[in-house]
Chain A
Amino acid sequence: MAETIKCPNCGEINPRGQAACKNCLTPLLSVTGELNEDAAIKPGQAPTKKDTAELEPILPQWLKDARDASRNANEADGESLQHAKQPSSASGEDLLGGLQAQTGADEEDEVPDWLASITGASPKPKEAEAETPGTRWVEMGGSDDFEKADDSETPSWLAGLQPTESQPNEKDELTGDWMRETSQPQESQPPEQIAPFDTSAGDTPDWLRQMAADAEAKSEDLNAETPQDAPELPLDAPDWLRGLGGAAEPAQNEESAGLSESGAGESEASLFSAEIPDWLKSPAPEERPLQDTTPPWLKNEMQGSKDSEPPSEPKQEAAPAQDDALGDLPDWLKAAAPQSSIFNHSEEQAEPESQAPSDTPDWTRTVAATETPSSDEPAPAFESASAFTPDAKANGSLEDLFTEMPDWLSAASDAPAPESAPPAAEDALTPSELPSWVQAMRPVEHAPAQPSSTGDESLESRGALAGLQGVLPAVPGFAPTSKPKTYSNKLQASDEQLAHAEILEQLLAAEAAPVPIESFSSLRTSRSLRWFLAFIMLGIVLFSLSLNTRIFSMPVGVPGEVRDAMLAAQSLPQNAPVLVAFDYEPSRAGELEAAAAPLLDQIILFSHPRLTLISTSQTGSMLAERFIAGPLADHYKNSGFTYLNLGYLPGGQMGIRAFAQNPAAISPLDMYLQPAWETAPLEGIASLPQFAALILITDNADAARAWVEQTESLRGDMPFLVVASSQAAPMIQPYHDSRQVDGMIPGLYGGALFEQYNAGRPGTARTYWDAYSLGMLAAMALTLGGGLWNLVANLRDRTLNREAK
């Protein structure tokens, strides 16, 4: 590998590994990534560039000179340049790349063997590979050609040109495809086996012919001065070219002399007639000064050509080529073009080339000629199936070929591979080290051509796709037509509204703000007062109950609601079904049991009703059982009193409404899950109005209102009595005044009233009455005393404040 890299732009020598040229900052590193083995290039995929600047040092000097000459040329030969540009300069590059491709098996030196032999480097021995005509589509000879040339001490390039007639059995090994194809009729060649040089149809590469002529001309010039001394060729001349100096040596045999004569100046007509390559006739014998190692087939060819052609004309045509600055440039590439066009072109342009050096090397012109075959002859088969990928710089100038490209080999890397390209010898190449121009020639999968992505080359300047090129443009219909409206998130409030909001905030903050205790003396006073009040109340109640006092007489003067309740209870028929609803909490059981016991005791005593118990609270059924087992225990145990507990009635007001509409459907079972409506208490009852009375025992005004509201239109004339707690009685009183409730017993007071008209039966109300009366008096006294205390205290404080002022 080369230790330095020559800048393809300015020619500056840079050390290997340099990213960019230190002179012109041109990128030097290879951008070719590793390729997967057997990876094919997809349609539309550009081959990866490969920096082949490392091959610069091993390029032959004649090629470097040709490039330098092309750079320094101020004027281009118009006619020749136009002729070269018209077909495609890439063809010449591809031709050269194709030549490089056949040595691609060697991954260390990408220099083809023939090139190595030209530069004097010893070609590395290679193993013979089984070639397939379809894969070896570009080659100059077999891989063993050079070895065989070494063995026979003939130039390697000459060794590979074994005639098919003399060694037909070794044709596949010793001769290249193009050589094989030259020996075969053009019509019989299948398209897959078409070689790029087969258009010559067996002719000799022109560059070889020119080199032979060059060597002969030089030898003639030198022979004129020193006939016995072989002239020293330029140092950059390849070995074989130096060997051509042997033409000046005296030892020559007839075949070689004949070959030199015929090879130097044969005409194209004679070449076609004899089917002998032109280059075979001139220089080869001159390289064999002592030994005749020419194969017999070559001898025959040379002999035939010698006999058929005059040697003078080729010399006259080859002479101007030596004077040309591109004289070192081999014309062998011209052989890739149709022979007729090549020679016609050479004849026509021989004079201009000699007068004005062209920027274009001959081989590019010849390749260009291959792209445009003569109209007189049928189109070569390889044009329909191009062996080389078209170059992206097909229309570029030759100046770009040598200046803008990294090297002359990488020029073909940018060209997309054509679909008709024959498969290359991939197995002979190392994928990881494939140069870009080899990648360009790799087979492309047959697929429908991708639409060109170059339709929109606009560069996105904003958004998430900023920096990307060729993205799909936005659909015009979706583009915003106007600037979006902006909404302010600032609250639009007037000063008055803000002031009110501030007041509200202050109020809310004051609620959560802790209030400091002004003085602990007031707190101690409050706690002492609480203990004092508790002591008073507990003492009074305990005193009254423990002593069972009868200090206070029972209340007199029955209020209207209690009177109505008494009348309703007394008006109940015998054995009448009575529905009793227990809707109170256990905490009010003492009060309500004392208030309801006289009513139910009187009813049971005088009417012997069939009681049906129900409750809208979960604890109501239990309280009902407690009530039966407590205040009414005497009736239950002694008088054969029966009742039915329907238990809990769910649904609140909706449950009450449903029960009032269809009690049997809503509460079909009693609290023990037995059928309720077939028992004695509910015998003959199917609806709410069929009950003789509805008695509600409740401590909640809302419960009483619910029963009143939901049964208002359904109970009919059925008496509705309410036993209410003292705290709920004031709320239920309006319903009695409105005749919605027929009677009401308000708390212990109503129970004490009712108890007086219960045939003198003792009741709980009387037991509690003294304690209740004392407690009410104590409460009144304490409330009054406390009020007076506060009044006096305030008057005293006000007086003190007034005196203080």
Chain B
Amino acid sequence: MVFSPDLISGVLGFLFTILILSYLIGDNPLFRAAVYIFVGVASGYAAAVIWWQVVVPRLLTPLLPAILTGSLAEKIFILVPLLGAGFILMKISPRLAGMARITMAFLVGVGAAVIIAGALIGTLIPQVEATINFFDPQAAAARNIGLAEALANGTIILVGTVTSLLYFHFGARPQADGSMRRFWLIEIIALAGRVFIGITLGVIFAGVYAAALTALIERISSLVNFLGNL
């Protein structure tokens, strides 16, 4: 009997699917074993990918040519990351862990700059503009949307955005009876924002449920297909 790779992968997939589904009866060693194996395999695979797809092709392979025949810029581009990687490896020793701060400081600084700039350019400003443009008839016409629909969509989005933001306004004043209560207008708007937030959470829950259901369907389908192919 010859065991093809598809058969072995199918058996393993079936087995581990059953082990994961055993969580329905509660936490059990089979489920934990499957989880541990998955974590180990995933970590090993990630390490292998980082070595073969990052360290070797981006650091080691160009190192020798850059040192021997590369220009100054190429040498710097190779040696600086190598030096930074060496600093991070210093975290192995508690005494030399401080050396990693140099590289980490560089990563944090560059990462913060990239993320903040990207958030401003790619999210905040375009989203504010999009919210404003919902009331632009020309923009609606360009999108083949009628004026009424555009106004309705814009109104809903505007109200939902404002009321949701006001919901998170927690400023309050002490009352005569000693209790703390927000201004009545803010209370009303916050209530509307609470409705919008509830709807949003319902949509997200539905999306999570739909994604989980799809994953379950895929696993059950694989089991059915595996059993059907036997």
A residues in contact (CB < 8 Å) with B: 530-531, 534, 537-538, 541-542, 545-546, 560, 587-591, 593-594, 618-619, 621-622, 647-648, 650, 652-654, 657, 668-669, 671, 673, 699, 705-706, 708-710, 712-713, 725-731, 734-735, 737-740, 746-749, 767-768, 771-772, 775-776, 779
Contact = CB atoms under 8 A, between A and B. Distances in A.
Interface stretch (B115-123, B163-171, B173-181, B184-192): B115-123
Interface in B208-230: 208-211, 213-221, 224
B102 interface: no
B221 A588 contact: no
Interface stretch (B27-35, B48-56, B64-72): B48-56
17 contacts: A541-B216, A541-B220, A545-B220, A594-B218, A668-B57, A669-B61, A671-B53, A706-B118, A726-B210, A727-B204, A729-B207, A734-B130, A737-B130, A738-B130, A767-B221, A768-B214, A779-B209
B209 A653 contact: no
B114 interface: yes
Nearest to B203: A730
Contacts of A708: 122-123
A653 B200 CA distance: 27
B52 to A, nearest CB: 7
A717 to B, nearest CB: 16
A726 B52 contact: no
Q: Which range holds the interface residue count of chain B?
A: 35 or more
Contact of A590 (B121, B123, B214): B214
Nearest to B120: A709
A590 B200 CA distance: 25
A669 B24 contact: no
A650 B221 CA distance: 34
A652 B111 contact: yes
Given A650-B50, A654-B110, A739-B130, A730 B204 contact: yes
A560 B145 CA distance: 10
A652 B118 CA distance: 13
A622 B207 CA distance: 25
Given A673-B52, A726-B206, 18 more contacts: A537-B213, A545-B224, A546-B224, A560-B143, A590-B214, A619-B45, A657-B114, A709-B121, A709-B123, A728-B207, A729-B207, A730-B203, A734-B130, A735-B126, A738-B126, A738-B127, A738-B129, A772-B217
A771 B21 CA distance: 18
A440 B207 CA distance: 107
B46 interface: yes
Contacts, number: 154
A590 B217 contact: yes
A653 B114 contact: yes
Contacts of B42: 619
Interface string B190-205: 0000000000100110
Contacts of A545: 217, 220-221, 224
B46 A618 contact: yes
Interface of B: 21, 24-25, 42, 45-46, 49-50, 52-54, 56-57, 61, 110-111, 114-115, 118-119, 121-123, 126-127, 129-130, 143, 200, 203-204, 206-211, 213-221, 224
A351 B70 CA distance: 120
Contacts of A706: 118
Nearest to B128: A738
A622 B42 CA distance: 11
Contacts of B127: 734, 738
Given A541-B216, A545-B220, A725-B207, A531 B24 contact: yes
B214 A709 contact: no
A255 to B, nearest CB: 101
Q: Is the interface of A mostly helix, strand, loop or mixed?
A: helix
B56 A749 contact: no
B44 to A, nearest CB: 11
A768 B110 CA distance: 44
Contacts of B118: 653, 657, 706, 709-710, 712
B207 A699 contact: no
A547 to B, nearest CB: 10
Contacts of A747: 207, 210-211, 214
Contacts of B207: 725-730, 746-747
5 closest A-B pairs by beta carbon, nearest first, are: A590-B218, A709-B122, A709-B118, A738-B130, A726-B210
A713 B215 CA distance: 35
Contact of A726 (B143, B208, B218): B208
A66 to B, nearest CB: 81
A588 B130 contact: no
A727 B52 contact: no
A621 B52 CA distance: 12
Nearest to A531: B24
Contacts of B49: 618-619, 621, 647-648
A545 B221 CA distance: 6
Nearest to A534: B24
Contacts of A669: 57, 61
Contacts of A546: 224
B91 to A, nearest CB: 18
Contacts of A699: 211
Nearest to B212: A727
Most chain A Cβ neighbours within 10 Å, of B54, B61, B129: B54
A773 B164 CA distance: 32
A466 B203 CA distance: 82
B130 A726 contact: no
A594 B216 CA distance: 13
A779 to B, nearest CB: 6
B122 A726 contact: no
Contacts of B115: 653
Nearest to A585: B42
A700 to B, nearest CB: 11
A619 B50 CA distance: 11
A776 B54 contact: no
B195 to A, nearest CB: 16
Given A653-B114, A671-B53, A747-B211, A538 B220 contact: yes
Nearest to A595: B214
A671 B126 CA distance: 35
A530 B23 CA distance: 11
A647 B53 contact: yes
Contacts of B25: 531
A86 to B, nearest CB: 77
Contact of A776 (B45, B119, B210): B210
Nearest to A736: B130
B38 to A, nearest CB: 9
B217 A618 contact: no
Nearest to A707: B122
A771 B208 contact: no
Contacts of B57: 668-669, 673
B46 A542 contact: no
B54 A650 contact: yes
A334 B123 CA distance: 120
Given A730-B207, A738-B129, A619 B46 contact: yes
B224 A542 contact: yes
A542 B114 contact: no
Given A542-B224, A738-B129, A712 B122 contact: yes
B60 to A, nearest CB: 11
Contacts of B111: 652-654
Contacts of A618: 45-46, 49-50
A775 B122 contact: no
Contacts of B129: 738
B215 A587 contact: yes
B126 A779 contact: no
A731 B181 CA distance: 32
B210 A727 contact: yes
B204 A768 contact: no
Given A619-B46, A647-B53, A775 B224 contact: no
A622 B121 CA distance: 32
B50 A590 contact: no
A748 B224 contact: no
A772 B143 CA distance: 32
